[in-house]
Amino acid sequence: MLGILAKFLMKVRFIAGALALAFIIAVAAPVSAQQPISVNPTASAVQEQQLLKELNKIQGRVSIPDKRSDVLEQPAGREWRQWHQVTLRWIGAIAILGMLALLVLFYLVRGQVKIVSGLSGRKVVRFNAFERFVHWLTATCFIILAISGLNVTFGKSLLLPLLGPSAFTTWSELAKYSHNFLSFPFTIGVVLICLMWIGSNIPNATDVEWVKRGGGIVGKDHPPAGHFNAGQKLIYWIVVLGGGASAISGYLLLFPFYGTGISGMQLAQIVHSVVAVLFIAAMLGHIYIGTIGMEGAAGAMGEGTVDINWAKQHHSLWLKDEMSNAKGSGQSRPMGTPAE
Amino acid sequence: MARMKFLCDADRCIECNACVTACKNEHEVPWGINRRRVVTINDGKPGERSVSMACMHCTDAPCASVCPVDCFYTTADAVVLHSKDLCIGCGYCFYACPFGAPQYPKVGNFGSRGKMDKCTFCAGGPEADHSKEEYEKYGANRLAEGKLPLCAEMCSTKSLLAGDGDIIAQIYKARVTKRGYGSGAWGWQTAYRESIAI
């Protein structure tokens, strides 16, 4: 009798358990059916803003042959734009117009640097034909490169309204080709300048003295100088280093993707343009002192000779060397024919 | 007027490249030029996403700003176009573009990149609508026919949306609400300085 009761109770417990389990499953079922909706694939996926924050660009893989197009997004172009449209224009305008203003002011205050003792009529060779050829090769290229380069930054504000779109495009295309092709002779010129004049352009004690005494530019003093004075050495190093920097950065732009990607090209353009405008400003100073700024200087790069009195005043140590060399080696180079 | 935009729903893109092919065929784009491309990020890893990208027709477009000959213009539909007659192929738009959209027929050949080519939102160029010159230089002008860009129209999963910015944003928002997730409108913050709030 007890046994039957126990069996019955066990059955009841089993049924109750089964019912409870069925109830739990029934209640839980809708929850488990909703589960796919609560899965959020975005949570585990790559996030645009996060990628941009980490690298400032998004790069992936493309299946088209042009593998360079695998950069999806690189907002740095916006900063480069700010540089090109605003900052560079200010730097360029201030450097170039500022230099022109300074030169005009300097000319008005100081006037032309005269040869104090007048022309002697006796000439001494300062630059031989090869040196002059290299100088003018580089200078001609530089002037065309400068004008065509400035056209890229300032042309559309200054020239486009004057020429109209179609003529301005013709001119700019011509300017672009000149800029690209003349970069090669210009680079050769810079390399030759670097090699042929490096010996006389190493800074030394004479330069310190020259700078201390105002170099003959400020005041009426005429400190001694060798073949090149400290100012000319500065110009030499501007040409060598500035020319080198603009050549390297320029070739990176000329051969896109050979050396750098887009961000590298943006950087190269920044270096190229800032070096270029400062270079142009420096060369304006160089042109001034070589022409209207100083009596008797232009001949050095013209026919290659300068007046003895000019040499005495500006390059006393160099003249001394040249004279003693001439005496020693039977007048090989320095003394030109006395002019009447 | 509409403000035309592209939107790629990265959660739907399956990297089939139909948009790329459709674009090339519709405009008879020359070899080596891709006005549209699909970039896959974290390829083969969990959470990879593919995004179809072309010119986004940016608000206050950087390419137009830096162009030294001012050859870009914006249409009434806010589509950024350019004149190949005025372009000198200098490459500046390529430095400025956040999306790598500008393409050149002779990339790498020094000094002669050639006239820049890019996505026109199927809106042709400055020449007369449907003229032979327009087709040869810029490809089909579907917008003038009242049609939207073919890339989006061809998209097999309707991942790529093209059309008025407000409308496609609305479509995208509705999708995200319904399915419960979305990785956002890729490139919008950079191109339009605004994203889609969800």
Q: Please report, for chain A, the start and end positions of each structural domain, with discontinuous segments joined by +.
A: 75-328
CB neighbour list of residue A215: distance below 8 Å, 6 or more residues apart: A223, A229, A230, A231
When pLDDT is cut at 50, 70 and 90, the band that residue A332 belongs to is very low
Q: What's the whole-number mean pLDDT along residues A267-291?
A: 96
Number of cross-chain residue pairs from A and B with Cβ atoms under 8 Å apart: 173
Q: Does B110 touch chain A (CB under 8 A)?
A: yes
Q: Considering the domain A75-328, what is its CATH architecture?
A: Up-down Bundle (1.20)
Beta bridge partners of A123: A307
Neighbours of A240 (CB within 10 A): 18
pLDDT (0 to 100) of residue A71: 92
What is the distance between the alpha carbons of residues B159 and A16, in angstroms, rounded to a whole number? Answer: 53
Q: Which one of A62, A78, A155 has the shortest CB-CB distance to B39?
A: A62
Looking at per-residue confidence, does A317 or A219 come out higher?
A317
Average confidence (pLDDT) over A59-86: 91
Q: What is the mean pLDDT of residues A35-64?
A: 81
CB contact under 8 A, B48 and A46: yes
What single letter denotes the amino acid at residue A238?
I
Model pLDDT, residue A25: 61
User: How much is the pLDDT for B5?
Assistant: 97
Residue type at B173? K
Model confidence at A6: pLDDT above 50: yes
Q: What angle do CA B97, B136, B126 make, to 5 degrees?
A: 60
Which amino acid, one-letter code, is at A109? V
pLDDT at A288 over 90: yes
Q: Report, as an integer, the average pLDDT of A186-193.
A: 97
pLDDT reported for residue A29: 52
- If one compares B150 and A21, the residue with the highest pLDDT of the two is B150
pLDDT of B7 > 80? The answer is yes
Q: How far is CA B43 from CA A17, A276, A330, B8, B148, in A?
A: 51, 43, 79, 17, 30
Number of H helices, E strands in chain B: 7, 6
Query: Of A113-122, B61-70, B106-115, where does mean pLDDT reach its minimum?
Result: B106-115
Q: Find chain B residues with C-beta within 8 A of A69's C-beta.
A: 34, 37, 39, 100
Residue A333 has pLDDT above 60, yes or no: no
Of B63, B118, B59, B119, give the one whose Cα is nearest residue B96.
Answer: B63
Burial readout B6-24 (b: 16 or more C-beta within 10 A, e: otherwise): bbbbbbbbebbbbbbebbb
Query: What pLDDT is stored for residue A156 in this prediction?
Result: 95
Interface touch A47/B183, C-beta < 8 Å:
yes
Q: What are the structure tokens assigned to A5, written together?
A: 């009761």
**pTM of the shown model:** 0.85
Structure-block tokens of residue A199: 């010996």
Domains of chain B by range and CATH? 4-192 (3.30.70.20)
Q: How many residues does chain A have?
A: 340
Show the tokens assigned to A337: 């024919």
DSSP lists the bridge partners of residue A61 as B40
Tokens of A239: 């040409």
Contact criterion met (CB < 8 Å) for A45 and B49: yes
The answer for A 222-261 residues in CB contact with B (under 8 A) is 253-258
The Cα B158–Cα A256 span in angstroms is 35
Please list every residue in chain A whose beta carbon sits closer than 8 Å to the beta carbon of residue B88: 169, 172-173, 176
User: How high is the mean pLDDT of chain A?
Assistant: 88
Model confidence band, residue A212 (pLDDT cutoffs 50, 70, 90):
confident
